[in-house]
Structure 1
Amino acid sequence: MSTPSAPRSSVPSPGPAPVWVVLGATGFIGSAVRSALAEHGVSVRSVSAPRLRAEGTSPAALHAEAAALDTEHSLLVNAFAGADVVVNAAGLATPGATDSPELRGANSLLPALAADAADAAGVRRFVHLSSAAVQGHRPFLDESTHVEPFSAYSRSKALGEQVLSARAGGSCSVATVRATSVQGPGRATTAKLARLAASPLASVAGPGTAPSPVSSVHSLVDFVLRVGFHRGPVPAVVLQPWEQASVSAVLEAAGGRRPAHLPAWFCRAALRCGYTVSSLAGERLHGALRRVEMMWFGQRQEPGWAESTGNVPEPRVREVLEASRN
């Protein structure tokens, strides 16, 4: 994987090297964050996330479970000691998964435990990686607390956000980054997108000018670093900025050919039928259907903290998708 570069504005000034901890540093996003930080002289600690099971399905229940995990909490406090920033890039990125204590443990309970440990360790900022999937089928994505999860995976990520927002006050600044549909070298979903885009199945609804939330790992890493290094306040939830690509542009970049244009009414009817069948089958097809929905209709993104503070990374999604063809 090529190493994403840290943004010029976020590189720390000369002086003692800041210390960052990356929780889940062996994963796709975590390893990219770790590499970018190391490239720019930041001292990085890679910490393995504890494997947790969560029985609770509410923020209050998960806080109670987190409070009972004394051993895991102490281990994380020790691992975070002396760090300026902790990035939680751990979790289960399984959009097609069914609900389970393991899924909730990784995506809902772990953020609460890690944020509490970061606060106890005196960390300045805790950056949690969430997913824009928490807002589901809304016409647009934004930085509000409004969520419409539609699957077990998106519900687990939404619950993780709610657990963090329900925390009692502490000295550690907690910021949740809602990542969009992140693509990059070596990612299986990116290879699948390239194959689909090059096939006769590649299609868009109507004219294909709808904005797509498909994004690049390079821009996400850039944004995570900006959030972590920012010295001013950061909202509780920030949305990864749009990379200026339409649904047609995404498929053309990934597949090297123009997609077919389907009537919007036909696409909506097909999705309604698909989601109905999937619901009867325990939501087993929800993840695949959501990918088709994004291919056809995309999803608009409202400008937020990044745009208002000048922390918008350089768009690189077309570059990443064109490279995926090879």
Structure 2
Amino acid sequence: MSGLKETRNYLVLGGTGFVGSAVVAELQARGHSVVVLPAPRLASSAATARELLDEALAAPARASLAAALANVDVVINAAGLALPGAAASPALTGANALLPAVVASAARAAGTGRFIHLSSASVQGQRSSIDESGERAPFSAYSRSKALGEEALELLAPATADHLSLVTVRATSVQGADRATTQSLVAIARSPLASVASPGTAPTPVSSLAALAWFVAEVAQHAGEVPAVVLQPWEGLDVRGVLVAAGGRRPLSLPRGLCRAALAAGFAVSSRLLGERLHGSLRRVELMWFGQDQEPGWAQTVGLLPTPSAAQVLEQARRRAQGSLGA
């Protein structure tokens, strides 16, 4: 059960970051009072979800967070390290895996009604289609850290079922006009490297910050039960449409076999010689060429579909890049 009241108090952890600030703004625009709390810096060398959960329950930060969450009905964890190309480290595991477990256990102790953790669809790796299942196939240090966080919340869930609703929102490829990753996408889309695997009509999970913030706010104030894992809804773009919006021109169309062979070689070199340091960049190329489908989920079932704005965000980022270059 959710234990939620009609009138709620909201707290956003990491509310000054890229996603967190947008969620705070969305909630405030709806007339809600929102408390913003900085995330404690945590580190962990845990290799399993059970080890991680044991650390979370004994973490000194748990007691202080529980005190901060007193009288909070919904807590949203938007904190973490968004470093897809990073190597494995205690800091990465601490921010993306240990922190959500600590906050969730603190929320349980404080009597919070709903805890929303912002995860990433990257936990399902290179699957042809992402969904809301518990199946995970992380392929990099970053995606493994996010997957470990989800697994720890799964272990904690049975002990919280009496009054705390634990919800993981899997964000997709979120873009913002000023975000560095979006500007990098624009630079590629405007260059001779802009290309898709033929025929270029594959769906892609490229999405917008505004749509994610809207969806998180809807999940936060939803009066009924919410599944343990929900996927950010698709915004309707295909791989060619993304590059046209970001680059202002049609990309090259490459043979699919050639693209697959190039990616296989790149991932092999990254794994064997570079400690997976190229995995994040190669995954971005893979998404540019092949996209990734996603199954309709809970949002479609209950009609919580945001207004698509990913194409407009990419066009806005392109205009800003053109302006800065005088193009």
Q: Does 1:243 align with 2:235?
A: yes
Q: Does 1:195 align with 2:187?
A: yes
Aligned equivalent of 2:13: 23
Aligned equivalent of 1:264: 256
In the TM superposition, residue 26 of structure 1 has moved relative to its aligned partner by 1.3
Q: Select 1:155's aligned residue among 144, 152, 157.
A: 144
CA contact (8 A) 2:57 2:105 kept: no
Uncovered stretches (5+) of structure 1, i.e. residues with no partner: 1-12
Q: Does 1:142 align with 2:135?
A: no
Residue deviations 1:235-269 (CA, integer Å, cap 9, x gap): 11000011000000000001111000000000000
Aligned equivalent of 2:29: 39
Matches within 5 A, 1:61-72: 61-69=51-59, 71-72=60-61
Tell me the C-alpha RMSD between the 2 structures.
Answer: 1.3
**How far apart, CA to CA, are the structure 1 residues paired with 2:29 and 2:258?**
48
Aligned equivalent of 2:284: 291
**How far apart, CA to CA, are the structure 1 residues paired with 2:315 and 2:37?**
33
Task: Give aligned-pair identity as a percent.
Answer: 58
Q: Does 1:282 align with 2:275?
A: yes
Range with bigger deviation, 297-306 or 116-125: 116-125
Aligned equivalent of 1:106: 95
Aligned equivalent of 2:205: 213
Q: What is the SS of the residue equivalent to 1:268?
A: helix
Q: What is the SS of the residue equivalent to 1:147?
A: coil
Amino acid at match of 1:251: L
Q: Does 1:316 align with 2:305?
A: no
**How far apart, CA to CA, are the structure 1 residues paired with 2:26 and 2:234?**
21
**How far apart, CA to CA, are the structure 2 residues paired with 1:89 and 1:242?**
20
**How far apart, CA to CA, are the structure 2 residues paired with 1:222 and 1:237?**
17
**How far apart, CA to CA, are the structure 1 residues paired with 2:220 and 2:159?**
19
**How far apart, CA to CA, are the structure 1 residues paired with 2:132 and 2:53?**
23
Q: Does 1:93 align with 2:82?
A: yes
**How far apart, CA to CA, are the structure 2 residues paired with 1:325 and 1:185?**
8
TM-score normalised by length of structure 1: 0.94
Residue deviations 1:221-242 (CA, integer Å, cap 9, x gap): 1110111111111111000011
Q: Does 1:172 align with 2:164?
A: yes
Aligned equivalent of 1:10: none
In the TM superposition, residue 185 of structure 1 has moved relative to its aligned partner by 2.5
Amino acid at match of 2:19: I
Aligned equivalent of 2:178: 186
In the TM superposition, residue 151 of structure 1 has moved relative to its aligned partner by 0.3
Uncovered stretches (5+) of structure 2, i.e. residues with no partner: 320-327
Q: Does 1:132 align with 2:124?
A: no
Amino acid at match of 1:109: L
Q: Select 1:115's aligned residue among 104, 122, 125.
A: 104
**Count of residue pairs the alignment pairs up:** 312
Q: Does 1:74 align with 2:63?
A: yes
Q: What is the SS of the residue equivalent to 2:11?
A: strand
Aligned equivalent of 1:232: 224
Q: What is the SS of the residue equivalent to 2:159?
A: coil
Q: Does 1:325 align with 2:314?
A: no
Range with bigger deviation, 116-125 or 240-249: 116-125
In the TM superposition, residue 27 of structure 1 has moved relative to its aligned partner by 0.8
TM-score normalised by length of structure 2: 0.93
In the TM superposition, residue 169 of structure 1 has moved relative to its aligned partner by 2.3
Q: What is the SS of the residue equivalent to 1:169?
A: helix
Q: Does 1:56 align with 2:49?
A: no
Residue deviations 1:266-317 (CA, integer Å, cap 9, x gap): 0000000000000021001000000000000000000010001111111111
Residue deviations 1:153-204 (CA, integer Å, cap 9, x gap): 0000000000001113221101000000000122100111111111111000
Aligned equivalent of 1:223: 215
